[in-house]
Structure 1
Amino acid sequence: MRVLFLVSLSQLIVLTHSSPSIQSLCHDDESSALLQFKNSFSIKRSESSDPLACPKVASWTLEGQNSDCCAWDGVICDEDTGHVIELDLSSCNLYGSINSNSSLFHLVHLQRLNLAFNNFNYSQIPSQVGNLSRLTYLNLSSSMLSGEIPVTLMNLTKLTFLGLSSNNFQGPIPSSIVHLYNLEVLDVYNNNLNGTMELCMFLNMKSLGMLDLSHNELSLLIDETCTNATLPKFYGLDLAACFDGQVPIPLPWTNLAILDLSSNQLEGSLPIPPSSTLRYNIPNNKLSGRISQWICNMTSIQMLDLSNNSLSGSLPQCLNKFGDSLLVLNLQKNKLEGSIPQTWAKGTQLRMINFSENKFQNRLPTSLANLMMLEAIDLGVNQFNDSFPYWFGNLPNLMVLCIRSNKFNGPIVIPNAEYKFPNLRVLDLSNNSFSGKLPLEIFQNWKYRDFENESPLTYIHVKANFTIPKGSWNYHLSYDYNYSMAITNKGMNMVYQRVQELFRGIDMSSNRFEREIPESIGDLKVLHLFNVSNNFLSSNIPFSLGNLAGLESLDISLNRLSGEIPQQLTQLNFLQYFNVSYNNLTGHIPSGQQFNTFQNNSFEGNSGLCGSPLTNNCNNFDTLLPPASISENSEDSDSPFEFGWKIVVIGYGFGTVVGVIIGHVVIARNPDWLRKTFGMKQLGRRHRN
């Protein structure tokens, strides 16, 4: 019986798929319109910012088994009528213009249209888009569109989602947008829209729950008569760079999940959103006063950015009790003081912490070592007074550790092999009081890891995904939070708004490190930046620095280094910045490759160096300088200083007058010799003291 049933079922399936009365195929006029739309574009794989972009239209054809357009990638048809009702060509590498004659506008049964993440070559949205009156969803984000938002969009009265972000739209937002009664999401982020609008116009829209007007040139006015009755329905509000003055919206709103008020001129105390908030950004304002303890009620928060304000006082110790959801905590550039929270629990999801440029004091809590998911922490420019926090070395994902410009002190000792810093890429210890030898063992794992497969287009970031329930459907949002970093590179204080994952940098400048630069530095072949300037390092420059093939910036100035500059350094083809000034270096300056691009200030303060770009001519200078291997105190030294005075002594043996004459002749023939010789001796004494 089972076999007969299976045969009967298979026959039924065949009959079902072969019967036109049960399943309608794609309409000829619609398949033709889709092919015309496809043929109006070229496929360029470089035209999408989505790394997973796929040219879906490449498989569209009327030949063979794939002739039914309802089976084409990105096309969905109504099961009963066969009409095309959904078209999703997002991230399809489409390149070309959309014009008023486009066959797209013949697909009048469309309910959902997604053309995001393509390149439409700065064409405008034709007014014919208003013909697609059945649309409930329209997404044209990140598609290189320009011009004004067409008024005919307002004909789409069934629209519940409108995404126009990250294009080049200009002019005002049509005021008639308020007549889209069903609109739930309006996203025009990152365009060139301008004009002045009443915020309440949007807040009073019947169905609107997510509004993103950020990063345009809009000015929002606040009407005091604006009703608060509809505010609790909002679950997302992004008004970054839109207005100034006091916080214009009454808080809290019970359903609020996303709130971004960054880069305005907001004053007063920090507003605290409701506990339901998932993402709260309010950096780059003028907020002042203490952070209320009420902030700790935000137990669902994933991203919290209060940076670049004037918040003061001590930090609520309850911050370390945020729920497991917190991914990013940024308090940079405020006036906060005292200790940071002392107890950080295991199991938290924190990926980035930035407490830099405040007035925090005292020791670091060792419980920070419990944050096993941590990727970057910046504690720079504070007043922490502690020894090196070696216990950070046990964090498997830590890529960036910055503790610059504090009061950290003492030698850096890694107590056992457990603390290996397995994933560290950037270490900034500059402007502290560390002493002892350079702790290059922190980077020993670089010798054994394969970095060749890392992409230069990946950045240190946190991706947060938010799901907001909306009745019968869910609204999904995704945010990338890029780690930014301030570091001294190529002789300048630089701020990187994004940091490539493959970047490797070590800054240990302005401390009290001594002894030599270890030869093991040559094992760190992936290093891009190495700065150990302004320390007490001595001995020779190691030849192994020439192994650092990717090195772009090398600063070993203001130390006690001696000997010659190794010729091997000319192998560094990517070296853009080089500074060995104010050491005790001698001999020829290497020439060729990148060394031909460095200026005088890269070598100044080394009276024993000669050759381009310095004015000292090595042809004459070699006969006057002592060999680097002979001590200045050696009895057998042939230094020009001792030779000159031997002549004077012999002169006194023959008589005072003859000696004076001979001494005068020596000095007259070498007018700069005495100054240089004394200068070299004095520099040597300064470094020995």
Structure 2
Amino acid sequence: MGMESWWSKFISVRSFILLLLNATHCFSPVQSQALGQVDECSALLQFKESFAINKSVSADPLAYPKVSFWKREGDGNRSNCCSWDGVECDEDSGHVVGLNLSSSCLYGSIYSSNTLFRLVHLQRLDLSDNHFNFSQIPSRFGHDLSSLTYLNLSNSLFSGQIPSEISKLSKLSTLDLSFNYQKADDGIPLKLTKANMRSLVQNLTTIKQLHLNWVEMYFTVPDILVNASSLTSLQLGDCELNGEFPVGIFHLPNLEVLDVNGNSNLTGYFPNFNKSNVFKKLNVGATNFSGMLPASMGNLHSLNFLDISWCHFYPLIPSSLGNLTQLNYLVMNSFNDVSKGKIGEFPSFVSNLTQLEFLDLSDNEISGQIPSWLMKLTQLTSLSLDDNNLQGPIPRSLFQLKNLEYLSLSGNNLSGLVEFDQFSKLKKLKGLDLSNNMLSVGITNDLSATLPKLQTLALGFCKLQGPLPIPPQSIRFYDVENNEYTGEISPLFCNFNYLQVLELSNNHLSGMIPKCLGNSSVLKILGLHNNFFNGYIPPICPSKTSLRIVDFSYNQLQGKLPRGVMNCTQLKVLNFANNQMSDIFPSWLGALPELRILILRSNGFHGVIGKPATKHEFPKLHIIDLSNNGFSGMLPSNYLEIWNSMKYVDENRATYYEVDTDVLGGHYYRSDYAMTIRGKGVELKYERIPYHLTLIDLSSNRFEGEIPEGPIGNLRGLVLLNLSNNYLTGHIPSSLGDLAALESLDLSQNQLSGRIPSNLAQLTFLEYFNVSHNHLSGPIPLGEQFDTFQEDSYEGNSGLCGKYLPKKCEDSGSSTRPPPSIVEEDEDSVFQTALGCARSC
């Protein structure tokens, strides 16, 4: 499983909670003792009844259902609703003017008929951190609540187009529609048209805080924002913005917060800043900003948050950044365009930033040693220097950073002996990553005494030996892959109530897997790949759990696949390749709604793959590898017909398949999944799986009969198809020519006959083609990719002839060119890159 910087590359729920706390300060209703208007109190009660209470839908750990305490009292004309939790009334009129139901565990949809819109005197409304079931924002917000000055609907899972009527709320000073999208669960985002964005800015003339993070926009930032002189905070993170960012926005006189992070197609540059700028937060991370970092950035004396990570700036860092002495948060990982040079040694300006609490300089090719002056940064709670070229020992001065909670030094060339007891000096340490260095780590078997608060431990590639160290009860993430640990997994690992990631792959562990290990209700990733575990597979998911990835491949496990797996309703990856299992095809896995990758290669699975129970089996399956088993009968055409997720190219904007796990109490660790498959005639090892990768491998079984023409031709998202080494007969279906994304096609070692369809030459992304050892005849196709395939692609077919074969066709015109291509060749296509990141082994 690929490791990344586990706190620099994250989605921070903690940031959202800070926003909530900030919103609470902005929205601090005084509980008036005046009696409310009876019709408005009645409307509130009906509003309450329109929702269910679900404590799991609010992210704030202090969330509670405020409406649970609402009860009607009072006489017929007035009521006591002004004293209800979250309700604010005008002291004179008794009208409800404020409603703060943030983090109130509300679940359900808001429709235009909701009684909320009878509260026409509302001035402040906060419904953030609830779950409104992906309902659309009703246009009545703009029609009926025209007195609103504060509207916060963030992190409440609204979806669809933001209605244009929102721009009629001309009195708004704060509008927050951020984070209405569950990225990890394929949620539906909010969307905003460019015309509606312009209307918002034009009509909301007193707007101070405009927060639209994660709202899909897909347009250039409107120039009209340059005139929004009242703005103090503009947040447009992860909005799919493109084009050039209007430089005039940097000069808005009152702008303190600017956040456009995550807009990878947004270009821009920093202007010259003067001393009148009042910026406190500046975040352009993960954009396409470029150019020089101006020396005038040193004029931003109020700046306490700067993120320029994953950009394309020049590597020259002005020393004037050392003037930013108020900085608490500095993120510069991978900020520069490496083609324009390297940073060199550790940037010295950092030594002046003594108020820093969070520092991330990872992935910058910084060379030399870790400077001892880091000890001056006594406020540091988080330090990430991973994926650089740092050398030498870990300086002892680092252990004097008494406030340090997270330390990542992975992916460097650090050396020397590190006694784990040294970390006991860091009493607050919660996260430690020393993986992928040349360190010799002296570690004790019981870590509870050394690091009692430890939540995250990553020690991959540290040459560690002996039994597995036992972490403290607080552990959430435990990764010691690629070491030389031996012995069995202690049953104590079953007692860790917070453990979300257990990654023990590529060690020498043995024995039976503890039966209780698959019972955890919080474990999301269980990686035991490439060890020596034996015996029967323990129960997995005897009841519903949080498991996303289960990888037991390359062990010596026996028996059947545990039927409890069908309870793993959130499971995305199941890999039992290269074991000694014996079972029939687990058709019951088809009921898993999220399963994307199923690998059962090289076991003793056998029998006929029958018909699916319903037409909705395996709804999200993209990768299935059943190769090198004993399956028999016809190819499973009934399944091929219903694997709908393989019938199109997934347009999800994600690049690689990832799983997010909240392993650091609000900091998400983004976990890649590594996988080995056979394709293009070799073994392909993926450190990260392209999100668009779709493959079927049914090779080396005992399938017979014909390749189903219709079902196979409909799987137009396929990138790899391997049906080799079976007993297939009949013709090669011409419908394979419709698989425009196909890069690898292997039909070798069968009993196929007839001609190779000439329209296969339309497959302009086809890199590997093998039909050897069949009974094919006639001319081989010419043109496009077929001009690159060598004789070994066709050997063992005495009836074939053609330009690249020893046997030439008698009629030279019979080797016809294909019809016009079904796709235009595009050098930047995702299909060409989908397998480009795989490494041939």
Contact 1:313 / 1:335 at 8 angstroms: preserved in 2? yes
State how far apart, in whole Å, the 2-side matches of 1:513 and 1:528 are: 21
Distance across 2 between alignment mates of 1:154 and 1:448: 52
The verdict on how the C-alpha distance between 1:495 and 1:397 changes in structure 2, with shifts beyond 3 A counting, is: same
Determine the C-alpha separation between the residues in 1 that align with 2:729 and 2:492: 54
1:447–1:84 Cα change, 3 Å: closer
1:262 paired to 2:455: no
Q: Is the 8 A contact 1:209 1:235 kept in 2?
A: yes
CA pair 508-240 structure 1, distance change in 2 beyond 3 A:
same
Partner of 1:319: 517
SS of the equivalent of 1:288 reads: strand
Counterpart of 1:501?
691
Distance 1:581 1:97 in 2: 56
Q: CA deviation at 1:566?
A: 2.1
Q: Distance in 2 between matches of 1:86 and 1:164?
A: 20
Secondary structure of the residue that 1:377 maps to in structure 2? strand
Q: Report whether the alignment pairs 1:68 with 2:258.
A: no
Quote the Cα distance in structure 1 between the aligned partners of 2:683 and 2:656.
Answer: 20
Report the AA paired with residue 525 of structure 1. Answer: R
Secondary structure at 2:516's aligned position in 1? helix
Among residues 334, 347, 363, which one is paired with 1:142 in the alignment?
334
Distance in 1 (CA, whole Å) between partners of 2:613 and 2:756 is 35
Q: Which amino acid aligns with 1:527?
A: L
Instruction: For 1:308, give the aligned amino acid.
Output: N
Change (3 A) 1:57 1:292: farther
Task: Name the residue aligned to 2:626.
Answer: 429
Partner of 1:662: none
Q: Partner amino acid for 1:329?
A: L
Give the equivalent residue in structure 2 for 1:394.
Answer: 591
Please tell me whether residue 205 in structure 1 is matched to residue 398 in structure 2.
no
State the shift of 1:287 in Å.
0.8
Instruction: Give the TM-score, by structure 2 length.
Output: 0.63
2:659 aligned with 1:462: yes
Unmatched segments (≥5 aa) in structure 2: 1-90, 98-120, 124-146, 148-172, 174-207, 209-225, 227-235, 262-274, 337-341, 815-841
Comparing 422-431 and 500-509, the one that deviates more = 500-509
Contact 2:571 2:595 in 1 (8 A): yes
Quickly say closer, same or farther: Cα 1:87–1:516, change in 2 above 3 A: same
Are the equivalent residues in 1 in contact too, given 2:238–2:260 (CA < 8 A)?
no
The Cα of 1:493 is off from its aligned counterpart by 0.9
Matched, 1:277 2:475: yes
Cα deviation per residue 1:262-285 (whole Å; 9 max; x = unaligned)? 111111111121121111111111
Question: Against the structure 1 CA distance between its residues 307 and 52, is the aligned structure 2 distance closer, same or farther, given a 3 Å change threshold?
Answer: farther
Superposition pairs of residues 565-644 of structure 1, within 5 angstroms: 565-619=756-810
**What residue is the counterpart of 2:735 in the other structure?**
544
Gaps of 5+ in 1: 11-16, 18-24, 26-37, 39-47, 76-80, 469-475, 624-689
What is residue 486 of structure 1 aligned with on the other side? 676
Contact 2:621 2:646 in 1 (8 A): no
The letter of the residue matching 1:335 is F
Q: Tell me how far apart the structure 1 counterparts of residues 730 and 484 of structure 2 sit (CA, whole Å).
A: 51
For 1:581 and 1:71, the matched residues in 2 are separated by 63
2: distance between equivalents of 1:132 and 1:618? 76
Q: Percent identity?
A: 40
Find the residue that maps to 2:752 and give its secondary structure.
Answer: strand
Q: Which amino acid aligns with 1:88?
A: L
Cα offset, 1:260, TM superposition: 0.7
Which residue is equivalent to 1:94? 289
TM-score normalised per structure 1: 0.76
1:94-153 deviation line (CA, Å, top 9, x unaligned): 212236xx1111233433333333322222x33333333333332222312722223442
* Distance in structure 1 (CA, Å) of the matches to 2:536 and 2:559: 6
Aligned pair count reads 567
**Cα 1:228–1:160 shift into 2, 3 Å:** closer
**Corresponding residue number in structure 2 for 1:366:** 563
Deviation, structure 1 residue 553: 1.2
Pair 122,246 (structure 1): closer, same or farther in 2 beyond 3 Å: closer
Q: Is the 8 A contact 1:57 1:73 kept in 2?
A: no
Matches within 5 A, 1:305-384: 305-322=503-520, 324-384=521-581
1:108 paired with 2:301, answer yes
Return the alpha-carbon distance in structure 1 between the equivalents of residues 749 and 479 of structure 2. Answer: 42
Contact (CA 8 Å) 1:133, 1:155: kept in 2 or not? yes
2:437 corresponds in structure 1 to 242
Q: CA shift at 1:512, angstroms?
A: 0.7
For 2:640, what is the secondary structure of its paired residue? Answer: helix
- Matched residues in 1 for 2:501 and 2:247: separation? 40
- Cross-structure match for 1:295: 493
Letter in 2 for 1:219: S
Alpha-carbon distance in 2 for matches of 1:448, 1:196? 50
Partner AA of 2:746 in structure 1: D
**1:411-422 alignment to 2 at 5 Å?**
411-414=608-611, 416-417=613-614, 420-422=617-619
Contact 1:247–1:267 at 8 Å: present in 2 too?
no
Change (3 A) 1:53 1:90: farther
User: What residue is the counterpart of 1:637 in the other structure?
Assistant: none
Going from structure 1 to structure 2, the CA distance change for 1:528 and 1:139 (only over 3 Å counts) comes to closer
Distance 1:363 1:182 in 2: 54
The reply to whether residue 439 of structure 1 matches residue 632 of structure 2 is: no
- 1:421–1:443 Cα contact (<8 Å) kept: no
Taking the aligned partners of 2:498 and 2:669, their CA distance within structure 1 comes to: 16
Distance in 2 between residues matched to 1:499 and 1:377, nearest whole Å: 14
**Counterpart contact for 2:410–2:437, Cα < 8 Å:** yes
Moved more, 401-410 or 335-344: 335-344
CA displacement, residues 56-107 of structure 1 (integer Å, 9 cap, x when unaligned) = 7645265xxx5434476689xxxxx9983623223254212236xx111123
Report the 3-state secondary structure (helix = DSSP H, G, I; strand = E; otherwise coil) of the residue aligned with 2:745.
Answer: strand
Secondary structure class of the residue paired with 2:566: helix
CA deviations on 1:233-266 (whole Å, 9 max, x unpaired) are 2111111123455543660222111111111111
Give distance in 1, aligned partners of 2:383 and 2:369.
Answer: 14
Letter in 2 for 1:90: V
Aligned partner letter, 1:319: L
Structure 2 counterpart of 1:437, which letter?
Answer: M
Structure 1 position 175, deviation (Å) = 0.9
CA distance in 1, matches of 2:746, 2:256: 63
* 1:222 maps to 2:418: yes
Which structure shows the higher helix fraction? 1
Task: Report the equivalent of 2:601.
Answer: 404
* Paired amino acid for 2:307: N
Instruction: For 1:192 and 1:348, locate their aligned partners in 2 and report how far apart those are by CA, in whole Å.
Output: 40
- Hey, what's the Cα distance between the residues in 1 that align with 2:257 and 2:439? 52
The residue aligned with 1:517 is 707
Deviation at 1:182, TM superposition (A): 2.1
SS in 2 for 1:116: coil
Once the two structures are overlaid, the 10-residue window that deviates more, 563-572 or 503-512, is 563-572
- Going from structure 1 to structure 2, the CA distance change for 1:456 and 1:586 (only over 3 Å counts) comes to farther
Structure 2 counterpart of 1:574, which letter? F
Question: CA shift at 1:383, angstroms?
Answer: 0.5
* Alpha-carbon separation, structure 2, partners of 1:450 and 1:608: 34
**CA 1:427–1:179: 2 relative to 1, 3 Å:** same
Cα distance per residue 1:404-441 (max 9 Å; x no partner) = 01111111123522661111111101111111111132
CA RMSD of aligned residues (A): 3.3
Would the aligned equivalents of 2:255 and 2:279 in 1 still touch at CA under 8 Å? Answer: no
Alpha-carbon distance in 2 for matches of 1:229, 1:594: 60
Q: Residue 477 of structure 2 contacts residue 500 of structure 2 at CA under 8 Å; is this kept in 1?
A: yes
Which secondary structure state, in structure 2, belongs to the residue aligned with residue 443 of structure 1? helix
Give the Cα separation in 1 of the matches to 2:94 and 2:552.
Answer: 72
